[in-house]
Structure 1
Amino acid sequence: MSTFSAPKGIPEYYPPASSAFLHVREGLAAPARRAGYGYIDLPMFEETELFARGVGESTDVVSKEMYTFADRGGRSVTLRPEGTAGVVRSVLEHNMHRGQLPVKLWYAGPFFRYERPQAGRYRQLQQVGVEALGSEDPALDAEVITIAWDGYTSLGLTGMRLDLNSLGCRECRPAYRAALQEFLRALDLDEPTRKRIEINPLRVLDDKRPEVQAKVADAPLITDHLCGACKDHFDTVRALLDDTGVAYTVNPRLVRGLDYYSRTTFEFVHEGLGAQSGIGGGGRYDGLSEMIGGPNLPGIGFGLGVDRTLLALEAEGVPLDLPSACQVYAVPLGDDAHGRVYALVTELRRSGVATDMAFGGRGVKGAMKAADRSGARFAVVLGDRDLAEGVAQLKDLTTGDQTPVALDALVTTIKEKLQ
């Protein structure tokens, strides 16, 4: 009888590699918490219509990649392919926008897209995201971008490039859309792409096929069609990033793959990942709230890929400063010592020391091998004779030095040595 395997295209993180995954996720989220973003935990699935209206039916995400199914009540639901639409829905549903603005939220977890699995492209992808709703202030755009930048740099990543663009607003976008459609209609493109020209021509610019990219190389640029307000907004965002040392490249062809983006749009790219070079990105979505039936509620956010950030760190060979999973490993020798060791282990854990112990009554040789494999700094060995004398043997697994320590002073001694 064969055993089960994980579904195709879904990476699993288990010890010891999972410690690196947690480290990266924490590193990406920490700058958001420091900037006053509160945590939101989103549903794994939503009504399909939320993504169809919010993300856009012409996008690859909605038209090709969503996991959509009917539940037992006949309702169409979809595993979340991204986080922004769900956050905006939650803000509106719970009236968070009626309080202090902007509403600043962060989230983390898995998202689901039916993609062709390959390195860096998964059907369950892990992201850290932030959303800030209720303000058009360009300083909020700069803040969101800087949070992402600081997350990457705090992990030691140096090889990424930040691409930056503005997609304009509802005032200046129509003229650009018309100019772009006129240009694209004259090209020799396949029928699905020609249909996309009429629905959302920006999606054509986002087509990753080399033959399409070559044909649109001379397409009109959105930056040449920005209205005065959008140009001023973009200039201010850039000046604020300049002031805080965030390096970027203006890429007037950067579109991103979702329909709700407007004005500031950005993407972090790492060339060490080959075809799947985008490690995170986001932008402003000032009309999204209205798309899903809410009031005018401007916003900006990002989604950073934990999986791809891990791959980028590996590509650069960045050593990760991972906390030890085990600092102390306790070895009981004898029945009487077993109960006392368990009590000591519990006391050490409650005092903040990562501690494990030998289970199953294994001999001292096997237990000490387990102590070495645990990565602990110290081993505590307690036999029945030690117990009678009121001491335990404390062994430094780095130097091999071993000394007896009074049982009532053991926790304090270990904590002092670990400092």
Structure 2
Amino acid sequence: MLSRRLRLPLVFAAAAVTASGAFAVSRYSPAETEPVSSTAAPTTSSAAPTSPSPQVTVSVAPSLGPAVYVTSPPPKKTAAAPVKVDIHVDCRKGDDGNKGTLASPLRTIDAATSRSLDAGTVVGLARGCRWQTLVQLRGDGTKSKPVRLTAYGSGALPVIDGGSADVEAVVLLSGSHQVVENIRVTNAKRNGIVVHGSNSGVRSSQVDDAGVGVQFRAPDTWADKVTVRDLHMVRDTPGGDDDYGAVGFLVEAHNVEIGYSNCTNCRAPSNDYGHDGGFVEVWNYADNLHVHNSTGSNTQGVLEIGADQADSSADNIRLRNNKFRNSHGGLVLHTDNNFAIASAKISFTGNTFVSTGSQDPPILDGDLSHVTFDGNTVTTSSFVAHRTPASHRCNSLYLRGGAEVGYQRHSTERLNGKASC
């Protein structure tokens, strides 16, 4: 459930702090490099308005985009162009006195990331390694030369274990144009990964055993092919209407894109609400949020939206072509309580919802006067909605037990069958 979250200062062993409290950093230029294969950086689109979120700047959002299909046989996949890892880190054969080359790697991630990194710097973590540590990426990249934290070698994803430290994040992206990819983050008391820098994102990575999988606190940020699972509550106390946690993706900034991602077991018991969590939660700011081609299983709903700021806004939110199984509800939109958001406009298109608990919340809950619900497939043992959406066409509605639609169906909506339009 949405709440007024406490913001605790980050605690990183790698941080050098000046008398004024700011990080003291120096620029880092790698002396030697070694090539390994990886994937290219994401592309971006046009400029977007400034987010009211703190400590963020206007930037440009990447477009993950759907795959292209053709009627003829698809062309053979070509290998990604090789890129160079500038700083190698290996928990088994590394030493922090080394140069960071493939033949002479560092041992700790802190040795590679405690200084500000130049645009284009790639930090590689050896596959099969595990570190109990906290990581902050420093230094701004560019659109063509992002700062990257990735994996090299063969074997299982490298693991960053937060050790249940009571800090904001296990991995923090503090600069613009930063990318975390091919990494597993685990054992996070609060957030697994927090994206503070604009135009930054997470790709082909996993977060598990966390309170929140990925939190977005800067505009024009993204998650692509990210798996989040097995989440827990961050705050769970009797009374106070303030429990929160078990959220896959927490959005607190405009122009965020979440694509081809998964959230499993994003639901946990809560003293205040019975259960809490969900696939995506919006807090205060989320204009142009786009969630597409993703899946969820055993989530406490799909999208919850709320706020505690007068200028809050969640307009032009789009959810399309997603599939949610055991979703325990769908949308929860707060517009008339302690968590009311000032403005919200949402569209659901081509999604599949399966919510079969007789006590599950409705698929659509809240003021639906600015909610479009077209071309979706719903299976529910509860209600589709208690109010009528602004648009509701071509939906296939499968009702189990004593379930009800809850509003007057449009002529294009089909009950217990597939809509033909």
TM class by shorter chain equals under 0.3
Bigger Rg, which one: 1
Higher relative contact order (CA 8 A, sep 6+): 1
Higher helix residue share: 1
Could you state the TM-score of these two structures normalised by the residue count of structure 1?
A: 0.21
Higher strand residue share: 2
